[in-house]
Every structure is written in structure tokens, then in C-alpha cells.
Structure 1
């Protein structure tokens, strides 16, 4: 059994540029997350699952329930979710109600990994390290140097970062 379940749901973290259409899109793959995980060293046992593959603004309650059902069916008690930042708080609240007894962290990036790797790598590594280092259930958000209970983090659209409240 894996130590940690990593769910990749899409969001800006995963976006890439389509040279034909001239637009950013959320790909139907795990390329960005896989690239980061390939660089990590150690004895971490994880299972990566691609799910939904949407911009978070396009996510709805059915998508959030799909995430919850995937977590509830999983053997792992520690869950990392790569998620779009615009509705991360909505998914976190849904999971807090639906998935008790799990240690869950949602993370993402304000810029695509394909264009600015540093933020995505730091946010994913921060969140993963926090999951590994501690015990206890709850739903958290891991962004911009902080991992806090989901209700204690907000996206500061003026500064372009997540901050504690």
C-alpha cells in the first residue's frame, strides 16, 4: 500500500499552452506532477491518480463529490490534492464534511508549472512534507510557505498569494 494518495485534478498548476489555438488548457495527464515527483528522493511510497482535469472555475459539486468518493474508497489516510486555486476553498470545505479521519492537503499554483516551475515545486513539496511529518486528521491548504486548516487560509487576489486569516 502507498503511504500517500496524490490526486491531480487540474488547475493552473497543470496548464500548458496550445500553439494552434493560442490558449492555455488543462491537459488530460499528470505530466507536471510526475515531473516534480521524479525529482524527489527518499523512500516515499505514493499513488498518483489523475481525476477531473479541469480549471477549478469549471468544477462543480459533482466534481467535488467525485474527489470525496475517491478518497473514501482509498486505503491511504494521507491525501495530497493538486487543485486550482480559485475554488480550492470550496473543495476543501466539501471534503471536510465528507471525509473525516483523513489527513488532506490541497495545493496548487498561481502560475503554470510549464512556465514557472518554482512555485508549483515549492507548494507541492511543502504540502507533501507536511503530510509526511505529522499525524492527525483534517483538511488543510498548503500554499506559499504555509499549511493551515482550510478555513484559516484565503486567496489574497490583490497580492497574488494565499495567506492565513
Structure 2
């Protein structure tokens, strides 16, 4: 069985600004986590799937239900969700409240980026690495947020006035 499931939902981490649109519009590209892990030469097994490809401000209740369903159906007990930062905490809280996930005792970590992974100075690589390390070290099942060098349970995560996760 594969060790880790990576669920793409979209967000800045996966954004690309193709030249065909003059740089004024974005597309949600293929999962950035796949490129990051390939560059990192990881030796664990993982698979990726896409729940949706949206800016997190556009994620709906139905999208969160789809994300939950993907997590419940997963064979893996360790799940990374890449997500936009604007509503990452809301999705984390939604998943934390899901009784069917709680019963399965899965470790779920959400992460994202303040700049697209395609950008040279993106924080995406660091955040995905942090999230992957957390997934492999966390013992207690639950839903966590891994951003800005910190890992917090979703119900303890917050953002300060600069937008940094606390």
C-alpha cells in the first residue's frame, strides 16, 4: 500500500500564470507537490488525486464535502491536502468535525503557499517539506495545518495581522 495520499484542491501553491493569457489570469496547474517531491528525491511512496482546482476563496461547502469523501475513502492513514491559504483553516475545522474521519484515526495535514510554487521565491517547497515531515512524525490522529514553519491542530491554528499562520 502507498504510504501517503496527496489531495490537490488548488490555491496559490498550484497556480500558474501562462503566457497565453498575458500574465493577467491564472490557471490551477498540475499538483505542485508532485514537482516538489520529485525535486526532493523522496524515498517514500505517495499518490496524488485532485478533489478540486479552485482558489480557496471559491471553495464551497460541497467542495469541502468532496475533500472529506476523498479522505474517508482513502486507504492511506496519512493524507496531505494542498490548499489555498485564505480558507485553509475553515477546511481544516470542517474536516476536524467530521465524525467518520475521526473514527478512522487518520492524520491529515493541510498546507499551501503565499506564492505559487512556480515562482522562484515561493514558500511552497518549505511548506510541503514541513507538512511531509509532520505527516511522518505526528502520532495523534487529527487534522493539522503546516505553514510558516509551524504545525498546529486545525482548531488551534490562526493567522496574525500580517497573514502569517500562528
TM-score, with structure 1 as normaliser: 0.91
- Supply the RMSD in Å over aligned alpha carbons: 1.5
Gapped regions of structure 1 (runs ≥ 5):
none
Question: Does residue 1:160 correspond to 2:126, yes or no?
Answer: no
- CA-to-aligned-CA distance 1:70-104 (integer Å, 9 cap, x gap): 11011101110000000111111111112211101
Contact 1:55/1:84 (8 A) holds in 2 = yes
Aligned length: 161
Question: Equivalences for 1:141-160 in 2 at 5 Å?
Answer: 141-156=145-160, 158-160=161-163
**Match in the other structure for 1:121:** 125
2:114 aligned residue (93, 105, 110)? 110
As a proportion of its length, which structure holds more strand? 1
* 43-52 or 79-88: bigger deviation: 43-52
- CA-to-aligned-CA distance 1:103-151 (integer Å, 9 cap, x gap): 0110000111111454100000001011112322011100010001112
Task: Say if 1:33 and 1:42 are closer, same or farther in 2 by CA, change over 3 A.
Answer: closer
Cα displacement (A) at 1:45: 1.1
Task: Say if 1:144 and 1:24 are closer, same or farther in 2 by CA, change over 3 A.
Answer: farther
Gapped regions of structure 2 (runs ≥ 5):
none
**Match in the other structure for 2:35:** 35
Whole-angstrom distance in 1 between the partners of 2:132 and 2:125: 10
Whole-angstrom distance in 2 between the partners of 1:79 and 1:55: 20
